[in-house]
Copies of this chain bind each other. A is one copy, B any other.
Amino acid sequence: MSRLVEPRVLKGFRDYPPALMIPRERLMETARRVYRSYGFAPIDTPAIELTEVLLAKVEPGAEINKQLYRFKDAGDRDVALRFDLTVPLARFVAQHYTELGLPFKRYHLGTVWRGESPQAGRFREFMQCDFDTIGTLSNAADVEIALVINDLFDALGFDRFAIRVNNRLVLNGLLSQLGLDRKTSALLRSLDKLAKIGREKVIEEMGREAGVTPERAAPVIALAETTGSNADVLDELDRRFADNEEAKKGVANLREMVAVFQTAGVPDGRLRVDLSICRGLDYYTGTVYETFLLDKPEIGSVCSGGRYDNLAGTYTKQSLPGVGASLGLDRLLAAMEALDLVPKTATPAPVLVLQFDATRYGDYQRMARTLRAAGIGTEVYPDAKKLGQQFQYAERRGFRVGLIAGGNEFAQGAWKVKNLATKEEQTVAEAEVAEAVRRLIAGAGPPPG
């Protein structure tokens, strides 16, 4: 026999066994369903692209240059694995916008790769779940992105969450007013850390990174710290920026978003105008979004995004403004795990038909088919092993209900239906098994998968 090769994965990569993959798939399917319900359409793009294309927008000194999985393909082309879904979106829309037509609303769930230092607890392969509207300057598109985020967290079963929105125009207007507009990038990168590191450190960093004195930084911090109801904050901004056209435009957009949420019937408190939200990234130019779970705010934003003026300027002269956001799948799963919202199960089917008598396998599958047709996932154990062993299998995987039938039951036209959590067993006429199972599963919480 030949030498064995040790089965292992690369550092920074991981396998997803069923217990991890079942909740991931559930999240991804919910995201797809909600995105679609708003008319966002799915696309996919190649995982491998020409390096020239992927790095078209990237500055030579940027971190991502070092993180890229880059290599020569068999045709000696310089290629790389995509490191996000925004660059491929830009390339895709620049290439296809005439056939696609604008506005173009797409979602994209896809794997991306970055050779990050694995010590940081980060993975080198992860999934992004983006949705964007391209080709319109209308604030309606911005409002809609926030509505999608609301429905997404609703659909995921959350009630206690907040979408925090701001508009860069407000910040830009203020910085212009203060004569600080040439330091916008550095100031916003610092301001973005306000919640995390506190005002003192932000002021310190603004001095260090942007050369701005504490006195000049003060009104920026003060604006970010404005608190109150949405109406109060907006009124305050109206007063503050009565003569500032840029900021006024931002305030008007925020005001429209708040009004539409109300008219559309979204529960109060879901949308919060928060002037401390600015997103560190340079390319946002209007609305910015972050989403927090109120029971786990320390994990950070689980869905973020914003408006950008020019998505694809490196590929086309066509101006392609857009607005979108991205669900942080791994962060959200970690939060749900911590909040005990992830059912512990390694089976997507709640019911196991045990195999008591190998000669009756057809009958076991017949019952399983009846349950499947009723929308209840049902596995049949493949061997007529000892029942104890089959129950052990059921327990280990997290099945909810076991079905057993042997000579006695078949003679009676009945099945034993066992609640695997309580170990209670009842004998049920064949025609009533589906209903009995449904009741047991409903009693035990939502079905897995």
Contact = CB atoms under 8 A, between A and B. Distances in A.
A144 B380 contact: yes
Interface stretch (A9-17, A175-183, A192-200, A327-335): A9-17
A21 interface: yes
Contacts of A103: 382-383, 393
A346 B43 contact: no
Nearest to A90: B7
User: Chain A interface: which size bin?
Assistant: 35 or more
A73 B69 contact: yes
A400 interface: no
B372 A151 contact: yes
A421 interface: no
Contacts of A96: 15, 17
Contacts of A14: 46
A346 to B, nearest CB: 6
A366 B264 contact: yes
A411 interface: no
Contacts of A260: 361-362, 365
A349 interface: yes
A158 interface: no
Interface stretch (A31-39, A206-214, A284-292, A436-444): A31-39
Contact of A263 (B16, B256, B265, B366): B366
B91 A7 contact: yes
Contacts of A397: 101
A96 B9 CA distance: 12
Given A48-B10, A73-B69, A377-B37, A138 B383 contact: yes
A125 B9 contact: no
A366 B265 contact: yes
Given A52-B5, A143-B365, A397-B101, A349 B39 contact: yes
B15 A42 contact: no
A141 interface: yes
B365 A263 contact: yes
A298 interface: no
Contact of A138 (B7, B141, B379, B382): B382
Contacts of A419: none
Total identical chains: 2
B15 A265 contact: no
Contacts of A29: 29
A74 interface: yes
A118 to B, nearest CB: 10
Interface string A94-109: 1110011101011000
Interface in A254-300: 256, 259-260, 262-265
A319 interface: no
Interface in A34-75: 36-50, 52-53, 56, 66, 69, 71-75
A369 B265 contact: yes
Contacts of A144: 365, 380, 382
A263 B39 contact: no
A382 B8 contact: no
B316 A42 contact: no
Contacts of A101: 393, 396-397
Contacts of A225: none
Interface string A368-389: 1100100001111011000000
Contacts of A185: none
A314 to B, nearest CB: 6
19 contacts: A5-B53, A7-B53, A7-B94, A9-B46, A10-B79, A15-B46, A17-B96, A17-B100, A39-B379, A47-B125, A66-B74, A69-B73, A111-B111, A138-B383, A140-B382, A141-B382, A151-B372, A263-B363, A264-B365
Which 9 residue pairs of A and B lie closest in terms of their CB atoms, listed nearest first?
A39-B379, A263-B362, A71-B71, A18-B41, A36-B348, A13-B46, A39-B349, A7-B95, A5-B56
Given A7-B90, A39-B377, 20 more contacts: A4-B317, A7-B92, A9-B45, A10-B48, A15-B43, A15-B46, A21-B43, A29-B29, A36-B348, A38-B379, A47-B113, A69-B73, A71-B72, A103-B382, A140-B361, A260-B361, A262-B362, A263-B363, A264-B368, A264-B369
